[in-house]
Structure formats: structure tokens, C-alpha cells
Structure 1
Amino acid sequence: MIRRLKYNEIDFKKYTECLENSEQKNWYANKNVLDQLSGNWELLIYGDYEAVMPIPLKKKMGLNFILMPLFCQQLGIFSKEDNREINDQFLKVLQKKSNVFLYSFNQKNNFGEKLEKKKNYIIPISDYVILRRTKYFKGRKSTAKCAQHLFYKEIDLSAEIISFIENNYKGIPKRSDYEKFIKYLEFLNVNGFLKLYGAYLDEKLINLAVIISEENQLSLLALINDESYKNENGPSFLIDKILQNYIHEKTFNFMGSNIRGIEIFFKSFGAELQEYSYLESKILKRIS
């Protein structure tokens, strides 16, 4: 039996316990993260929190729609063991709702029916030397090697870094969305989850990797580049240095892309494809 709970009806102790013990455990479903990114969400539960499915809501055209928040890649169903029959029950409840704008499940959720997929790329914990020798594309090895004149540095969030982001971040066209991004960075920073790595030419910052750092995983939130220095190969240099320092102890999550050129960039470091299912209303997308 699937029940839907409003935010103030959720037992967050049981919710957190379910997440912590789940096979599908991921960053985005944590209460504080969802509170920050969505601010308005409810919950579908199976039994006594044996399985849970957070549902983010956003008001459009005066109505509440189920819509993935900006900077949130995957949610879905969380349970001790992924169960296709239970997942199908959750899916049926979600499909009955005509107000599903976009909802992304997680990569471990399996269903009886075929759903559309999005792509994510991950490098598992590895020996860096073996990874570079056997999994890097030949061209990526060469590009990273040619950028060794750059200087790699871990840096703190500051007014200077925010100015660099504002001047060079191309992925957020709306000012309101950019402001949400900065607030998210501040949230990550205050809670100890933010890592920033820079590539410097002499003393000038030319590339910035924005990373979410969890206990066992690093996730690439953004790779921000000063296009004036495109020929310096800073992005290859930065990712290679991060992998060199951390891939022996943490998985590296590229956070996915369906853009061919970006996909190839991720794959060139030996990243493995991990697809996840999603539901999207084509009608609502056209009229939004």
C-alpha cells in the first residue's frame, strides 16, 4: 500500500533511517539537501517506511507540479533492496498524477515497463596509475600531459571565486537560477560538502571545478572555464589532478550529460555509463 504524506506528516527519523540503509542511497534525497534545492516536497511511502520516494513540487500556472529541482539529478525509490514489484507500485501512483512535469528515478531503480533513460558517467574507486594507463583515451592522456605547466590548487569559496563564476559560468541563463546556484554553494560550504579546485596559469585562475564531497564520492557540480584560455587544456588538467589525488578512495561522479561532446570528455577519463529512468510530460514541457 502506497501512501502520500505532506511534508509536515513525514517522520524524518524513519525517513533518514530508510535512506541510510537503502541500496539506492544518494545525495539528493537527504532531507537538508531537498529542503535547500526544493523547499516544497512531499513523500510517497510503502508500508512503515520500508520504501520511500520523495516528490519535489513547484508551482507553475497556479498549480503544483512534480518537477525535479535545479541541480538535483536523481531521486526515485529508496529501500533496503531494490524491488521491481514495489517500484512498479510507486510508478503506477506517480503515473496516475497528471501533474508530473519531470521526475528522475535513480540508477538502481528497476521497473517492469520500459522507461526513457538519461545518462550518467561514474569512475569507481580505482588505482590511478592503472586507470590512466588502461582506461584514459590516448588523446586525453596527451592533453593532460601537455597542461602540466598549469598549477593545481584547492581553494576556498570567496568573493573572488564567486566573481569568477559569475563572469564565466555559461550553463545558467536565468539570473534567478544563478542566484540559486550561489545559495547552493554557500549551503554546501557551510555544511562541509563543498570542494573547489582551480587551475592557474602563473597566478591567474583560468578553470574551476566545483565538487560535492561526500564520504565515499566526489560529484562534479560544475566545471567553469575562462574561454580566453581554452588552448591551455585546463579542464583535462583539473580532472586528471583530482583523480590522481582521490580516485583511490572515492568514486568520481561526472553528474551526466546527453550532449555528445561532454559525454566523450567524461568517457575519455575511463568513466562508465550508468543510466537512470525518468518520466516527463511532453505536453507540459511544450507549454511551459
Structure 2
Amino acid sequence: MDIRYLRHEAIDKQRWDAALAQCAHGNIYATSLYLNHMSPGWDALVLGDYEALFPLPWRSKWGTRYICQPFLTAQLGLFELNPVPGRLPVFLQSIPEHFRLIDLPLNEGNLTDAVALPLRSNYRLLLDRPYGEVQKSYRENIRRNIRKAFERGCRAGQGTPLSEIIALARSHAHDEQGLTAFEALHAALELKGQAKRYGIRGHDGQLLASAVFLMDAHTAYYILVGNHPNGRTLGASHLLIDSFIRDHAGSGLTLDFEGSDMRNLAFFYSSFGATLHPYPQLHVNRLPWWIRWIKN
């Protein structure tokens, strides 16, 4: 199997993106534009004439190179034009030994019995029906909270300034370098018509809930979510997601909620009618025994 390890400068980004667009489980995170911003200098494993792709986002600390999940990058792993059973283990064995630690989310196309990997949870909602039909799949608590938000004077709007969204998200997104990289990525995607910003404001104009939705040809990704404490009892986040669904129902897009492994969030996303799509997590520790001992 002709799997090549390519350093960043040797990757043909145009061929990479063209191939990724044809992969059944291709996503926005594995595009060269996304990786260039969120993991500058990323390397890759490539099969043949870009028939299968495996991005390697890496960093270096104390002289040790390691592969890790970039900020706001939910799923990577192996992407194949024509999936072949048993190919994933070969790719995993082909990751160069100089990467001493690997902690990377793969994608749902990488589910296989050939490798025993822990699973993580994601929820996705297909927006292929009119809004009225999609809304029928909501649990009653979602409909109740949407009504409450309207009754309390909350209003949805598009075009919320990114600076306000980032400020609201900082309560749980503490990676300042990652946030700066995301600002540049957002600007690039917005120029391509692939970024939308939603916000929910209270009757006094305060931003109560917000999110960025990144888009590709098939999927909308719910990213950089922020919730003000004052909005949690008003149904603001319920109204935000409902507003996006209302605007895009019938489009054929899939709304990807990006998780979650947290039980309460998983229930929240499934309450909109979203279904579970598990994906594997890769963890490999090649650190010398004495470093492992120090870390423990």
C-alpha cells in the first residue's frame, strides 16, 4: 500500500481539497484552509494519487513532537475516496515514530472492528423537510423554552459581531491563540459565503446566546457557542438553534451539533430530533517510560 508521509510544504493543497470533497465523510475541518489556520504546518499521510488522506496536526514541546486536536476541530482521521475495510490500521501504523504522543478525534467513517478505539458522541440533524415538519420532532421542553424566550422579549438575529460572540464564548473557550486563529479563519470563510453568525438578545439588547455556523456543501457546523448566565433560564439557546433550523429547513443541509459526550448536552441536542453519530478517538503514547513516570 503506497502510503506516503508528506511534510506540509510537499502537500498539494489543491489536490487535497479536490479529493476530500469526494470523500463520503469529508468535512470542513480537514480542508487545507481550515487546517492552515487552526494547525499551521500540518503534515499528512497520503495514499497514492490522493486516494486516501490522513491529516496530522502536530505541535512540539520540549523537543517532543506530538499530534493533537486543534482548537474547534471536531473530527479528523482517515478520509477515503473508495473505502476499503482494514485500511485504517495500516494508516495508523504508518504515522511516523517521531510523533511520540497522539490524541486525535477520528471521524464517523473510521468506525471499524479492526481497531478497538473508544467512541465519542456527536449529534446530527438532517434539514431536508419544511420547518413545520422538523419542528414536530422537537421534545416538548424545547417548544416550551422557545415560547418562553419570545414571551420574555428575546429576539433572534443574524450578523452578530464576531467580537461579541468570542467575548461570550470565553467563559469556556480559554485558548487565546486558538481564538485569534479562528478569527482569521472566520474572515476567510465569510468571504466564501461559508460563515453565518447568530445571536439572541434580550429585551434590553443584551446578548444572551450566540454561535458561529460554518458551512460547506452539505453540512452546517455549530461552533463557538456562547451562553450568558442571564439567558439560561430564558430559553435563549433553544431559540438560537431553532432560528437556524427555521432559516435552513428544507435546504438539505445537515446540522452538525459537534458533540457531545456530556450527558446534559447530548440530551439537549437530541431534543431537537438530532440522532447519535458516534466516532472514534485515537490515543497512542510512545513517550519513554521515564517521561511517563514523571507525568504520572
TM-score normalised over the length of structure 2: 0.86
Q: What is the distance in 1 between the residues matched to 2:79 and 2:93? A: 16
Match of 1:136 among 135, 138, 141: 138
Q: What is the distance in 1 between the residues matched to 2:7 and 2:214? A: 29
- The aligned residue for residue 224 of structure 2 is 222
Contact 1:100–1:279 (CA under 8 A) maintained in structure 2: no
- The aligned residue for residue 150 of structure 2 is 148
Shift of residue 247, structure 1, vs aligned partner: 2.8
Contact 1:24–1:82 (CA under 8 A) maintained in structure 2: no
Deviations 1:191-235 (A, max 9, x none): 432211111222513221221122322111022122123322100
Q: What is the distance in 1 between the residues matched to 2:8 and 2:175? A: 28
Q: What is the distance in 2 between the residues matched to 1:106 and 1:47? A: 21
Shift of residue 148, structure 1, vs aligned partner: 1.9
- The aligned residue for residue 237 of structure 2 is 235
Read off the aligned partner of 1:271 and give its amino acid letter: A
- The aligned residue for residue 265 of structure 1 is 268
Q: What is the distance in 1 between the residues matched to 2:55 and 2:63? A: 22
Deviations 1:219-273 (A, max 9, x none): 1102212212332210011111211111321211101121111111111111111
Which one is further off, 95-104 or 54-63? 95-104
Matched, 1:115 2:123: no
Q: What is the distance in 2 between the residues matched to 1:72 and 1:220? A: 11
Q: What is the distance in 2 between the residues matched to 1:185 and 1:218? A: 14
Which one is further off, 16-25 or 177-186? 177-186
Q: What is the distance in 2 between the residues matched to 1:14 and 1:176? A: 29
- The aligned residue for residue 82 of structure 2 is 81
Q: What is the distance in 1 between the residues matched to 2:116 and 2:6? A: 27
- The aligned residue for residue 125 of structure 1 is 127
1:131 to 1:62, Cα distance in 2 relative to 1, 3 A: same
Contact 1:197–1:208 (CA under 8 A) maintained in structure 2: yes
Deviations 1:39-60 (A, max 9, x none): 0211112222221111111112
Q: Which runs of 5+ in 2 are unaligned?
A: none
Q: What is the distance in 2 between the residues matched to 1:88 and 1:283? A: 17
RMSD of aligned Cα (Å): 2.4
Q: What is the distance in 2 between the residues matched to 1:118 and 1:52? A: 21
Read off the aligned partner of 1:240 and give its amino acid letter: D
1:21 to 1:169, Cα distance in 2 relative to 1, 3 A: same
Map 1:99-110 → 2, pairs under 5 A: 99-110=100-111
Contact 2:37–2:182 (CA under 8 A) maintained in structure 1: no
Shift of residue 138, structure 1, vs aligned partner: 1.8
Shift of residue 32, structure 1, vs aligned partner: 1.1
Contact 1:169–1:225 (CA under 8 A) maintained in structure 2: no
Once superposed, which parts of structure 1, at least 4 consecutive aligned residues long, lie more than 6 Å away?
282-286
Q: Tell me the matched-pair count.
A: 284
Shift of residue 125, structure 1, vs aligned partner: 2.4
1:29 to 1:201, Cα distance in 2 relative to 1, 3 A: same
Matched, 1:287 2:295: yes
Q: Which runs of 5+ in 1 are unaligned?
A: none
- The aligned residue for residue 279 of structure 2 is 276
- The aligned residue for residue 196 of structure 1 is 197
Match of 1:245 among 227, 244, 247: 247
Q: What is the distance in 2 between the residues matched to 1:132 and 1:122? A: 15
1:267 to 1:14, Cα distance in 2 relative to 1, 3 A: same
Deviations 1:141-167 (A, max 9, x none): 21112222321111153xxx5145325
1:167 to 1:106, Cα distance in 2 relative to 1, 3 A: closer
Matched, 1:207 2:214: no
Read off the aligned partner of 1:277 and give its amino acid letter: P
Map 1:153-192 → 2, pairs under 5 A: 153-157=157-161, 161-163=162-164, 165-167=166-168, 169-192=170-193
Which one is further off, 12-21 or 42-51? 12-21
Contact 2:67–2:99 (CA under 8 A) maintained in structure 1: no
- 2:86 is paired with a residue whose SS is helix
Q: What is the distance in 2 between the residues matched to 1:138 and 1:95? A: 51
Contact 2:64–2:99 (CA under 8 A) maintained in structure 1: no
Shift of residue 96, structure 1, vs aligned partner: 5.8
Contact 2:186–2:195 (CA under 8 A) maintained in structure 1: yes
Read off the aligned partner of 1:245 and give its amino acid letter: D
